[in-house]
Structure 1
């Protein structure tokens, strides 16, 4: 049996189990929320394992230099985003008044994540726009 067929069977089984748990939760059985969380954890673990397998397989099958350059560029964006974040990106008052323990370091991480998201979004939008412009002029 091929890997694709095995994965389709696993996806089908997990889908049926998920639907059953979702229906039980909607019917008012709140004790099933824990079971639904376990299904979520299993699905997440399977996805992470498959992603790792295919990434490692792709690394050895493809051009490792391009992959390392892409990972390096991503890490550079993360480092620049962290350096740009001041640690005062979040207003801590609404969180600390409710008893949530948020420090300036947490605020710096959140700010860095936001800056990285914005940078990556701008790069992705620019790449799509450039690709569309090239298609228009190459016709």
Structure 2
């Protein structure tokens, strides 16, 4: 049995369990929320394990230099995003008054994540535009 077939069966089983728990939550059984979270955790663990397996498999089969350059570029984007975020753009008193533990460091991490998202989204859009223009010109 191939790995693709096994993964398809696991996805199907988890989907059916998720649908059953979802219907139980909709019907008013609030205690089922914990069970739905367990299914979510199991699905997340399965996805992370499969991603790690395929990434490591791809590293050994493919060109490791290109992979390391891509990871390095991603880390550079994260570093630039962290350096750009100040953490002081937001008035944190409404959050601290409500008992939330929000500090400038937390605000800086959130800002860095937003900047990284913006950079990566812009790179994705520009690469799609470039590919389409190149296809049209050829």
TM-score band, normalised by the shorter chain?
Answer: over 0.9
C-alpha displacement at 1:97, in angstroms?
A: 2.3
Paired residue secondary structure (1:74) = helix
Question: Which structure 1 residue ranges, 4+ long, deviate > 6 Å from structure 2?
Answer: none
Contact kept, 8 Å, 1:89 with 1:111, in 2: the verdict is: no
TM-score calculated relative to the size of structure 1: 0.96
Count of equivalent residues: 138
Q: Look up the match of 2:80.
A: 80
1:48 aligns with 2:55: no
C-alpha displacement at 1:22, in angstroms?
A: 0.6
| 1:30-49 equivalent positions in 2, closer than 5 A | 30-49=30-49
| 1:125-136 equivalent positions in 2, closer than 5 A | 125-136=125-136
* 1:50-90 deviation per Cα after TM superposition (whole angstroms, max 9, x unaligned): 00000000001000000000000000010111111111133
Q: Look up the match of 1:24.
A: 24
Q: Look up the match of 1:112.
A: 112
For structure 1, the 5+ residue unaligned runs are: none
For structure 2, the 5+ residue unaligned runs are: none
Q: Look up the match of 2:70.
A: 70
Cα-Cα RMSD: 0.9
C-alpha displacement at 1:37, in angstroms?
A: 0.2
TM-score calculated relative to the size of structure 2: 0.96
